[in-house]
Structure formats: structure tokens, C-alpha cells
């Protein structure tokens, strides 16, 4: 009997080989698809981090004032001579008691940009238009915009906004800002530690302002339906604390 493989054996071997190659190809395609998804998720997460970092950098500066040393007078000075910090205001507004304020509205702040090296940037003790910042979710591009300059914080007023994200890489689906305040009583630092009745501005207080940003976004190039959504939360402590009230007379 002559040696060799019969036609049936060759067909069986060919079928087994095709099954092995098909399984290996399917496994390879699955691995490549998972790698593509991981890269897309990493790119989306990185884009969210970039937006959050840029927003946090601006929010931390809120309330900076070049003459902050004038905000707390000496004991022999009347409170009427104390200039107020023009950059103390911060949106969202202060929460009531220990509650938190959460909003999707436009957060706004300001900080002094005076510089001793530039005569045109001297401290004028006022909140100027170019010292006011804000964030908004652009409804047409679905990007987070940062206010650069303009006459006033009103829609259609000609303000100059700059996108913090690339709409072709990140589509912001939602965002919100939560504010919490931690109030410290400063009455012990006053020469007199008894406030008169009926004075809402006594005692003086130091307010530590805490903000939390919650962002959610999608990759516009994601072919899956529905597109995967990634979320990111960042907490911010405003570096410049707010001073409220005054010492007892």
C-alpha cells in the first residue's frame, strides 16, 4: 500500500487549519479593538483633564487683590477707612449656612492683574472688564469657553471667549459647579470680643471657598451607539480667602 495522505485527510487537516487561523484572527481583531477603545478612552480622559486643569488654574486666582494688606485696618483705624476688595465676588453665590450651592449656570470671578513691571497695569481698586473671568458651555460647539475680555458679562455683548477644548476631540455633554464655604470666626483677634446686638457685620469672619467641578464628555469620533461617556470631578480651593464683617467698636 502506497504511503501518503488521502483526500479526506487533507480536507480534514485543511479544515482544522482554517479553524485555528480563524480563531487566531478573531482573537487578534478583538485585541486590536480593545486597544483602540482603551486609546480612545485615554484620549477622552486626557481631554477632560486638560479642560479641568485650565479651569482650575483660573478659579484658584479668584479674589486676588494687589492691595490686600489694606483690607484689615489697624486697631486705631475706623472701619470706614478700610477699602473693600473689588474682586471678592464669586459666582456661584455663597451658600446658606453649611449647605452647598450647585449650578450649571455661568460661574464668574475676577482677580487683580496689576503689575509693578507694567505701568499700564497699576492697581486701581476697581473690578475692570479685563480682570473678570467666566466659564460657559458653548451650546453650538459643546466646548467649554473661557472669557478673555469684553465690555460686560452678558450674552451678545461682544465679549471675547476662547475654547478650552477641541470640539473635534471632546464633546462636553454636561457640567456643574458646586460651592461650599468654610467660615472661621475671627472675633478672638479683635481688641473687643463682644459684638453689639443687632449688628449683622459682627463678628469678622474668614471664608474659605471650596469649589467642585463635575464634567462629562464624549468622543465625537466614537462609532458606538450610544457613545461612551467619561466623567471627571475636580476640587478647587480658592487661594484668596474672603474677609467679612468687622470687629466690635
Span 201-205, average pLDDT: 86
- 22-26, 43-47, 113-117, 188-192: segment of lowest average pLDDT: 113-117
Q: How far apart are CA 153 and CA 108, in angstroms?
A: 9
Extract long-range pairs of 44-47: CB within 8 Å, 24+ residues apart: 44/169, 44/170, 44/217, 44/218, 44/219, 44/228, 44/230, 45/230, 45/232, 47/165, 47/166, 47/169, 47/170, 47/217
Cβ neighbours, 10 Å, residue 244 = 14
- Asked if 137 and 179 touch (Cβ cutoff 8 Å), the reply is no
Q: Which of 59-73, 139-153, 188-202 is most confident?
A: 188-202
According to DSSP, the residues that pair with 161 across neighbouring strands are 147
Higher pLDDT, 125 or 208: 208
Percent of the chain with pLDDT over 70: 82
Q: Report the chain's mean pLDDT, rounded to a whole number.
A: 79
What percent of the chain lies above the pLDDT cut of 90? 2
Cβ-proximal residues to 109 (8 Å cutoff; 6+ apart), any chain? 58, 59, 61, 62, 63, 87, 89, 90, 91, 132, 133, 134
pLDDT tens figures, 6-52: 877 788 888 888 888 888 888 888 887 888 888 888 888 888 999 89
Is the model's pLDDT at 53 over the cut of 80? Answer: yes
Which pLDDT band, with edges at 50, 70 and 90, does 114 fall under? low
Query: Is this prediction's pTM over 0.75?
Result: no
Amino acid at each position: 500500500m502506497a504511503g501518503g495522505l488521502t483526500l479526506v485527510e487533507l480536507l480534514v487537516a485543511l479544515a482544522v487549519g482554517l479553524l485555528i487561523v480563524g480563531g487566531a484572527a478573531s482573537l487578534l481583531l478583538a485585541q486590536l479593538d480593545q486597544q483602540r477603545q482603551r486609546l480612545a478612552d485615554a484620549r477622552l480622559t486626557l481631554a477632560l483633564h486638560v479642560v479641568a486643569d485650565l479651569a482650575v488654574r483660573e478659579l484658584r486666582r479668584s479674589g486676588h487683590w494687589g492691595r490686600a494688606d489694606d483690607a484689615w485696618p489697624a486697631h486705631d483705624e475706623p472701619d470706614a477707612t478700610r477699602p473693600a476688595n473689588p474682586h471678592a465676588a464669586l459666582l456661584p453665590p455663597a451658600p446658606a449656612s453649611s449647605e452647598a450651592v450647585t449650578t450649571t449656570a455661568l460661574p464668574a470671578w475676577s482677580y487683580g492683574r496689576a503689575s509693578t513691571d507694567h505701568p499700564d497695569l497699576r492697581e486701581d481698586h476697581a473690578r475692570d472688564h479685563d480682570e473678570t473671568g467666566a466659564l460657559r458651555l458653548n451650546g453650538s460647539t459643546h466646548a467649554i469657553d473661557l472669557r478673555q475680555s469684553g465690555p460686560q458679562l452678558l450674552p451678545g455683548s461682544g465679549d471675547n471667549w476662547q475654547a478650552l477644548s477641541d470640539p473635534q476631540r471632546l464633546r462636553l455633554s454636561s457640567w456643574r459647579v458646586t460651592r461650599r464655604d468654610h467660615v472661621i470666626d475671627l472675633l478672638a483677634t479683635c481688641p473687643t470680643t463682644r459684638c453689639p446686638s443687632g449688628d449683622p457685620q459682627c463678628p469678622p469672619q474668614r471664608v474659605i471657598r471650596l469649589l467642585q467641578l463635575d464634567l462629562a464628555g464624549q468622543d465625537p469620533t466614537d462609532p458606538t451607539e450610544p457613545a461612551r461617556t467619561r466623567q471627571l470631578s475636580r476640587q478647587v480651593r480658592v487661594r484668596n480667602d474672603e474677609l467679612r464683617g468687622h470687629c466690635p467698636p
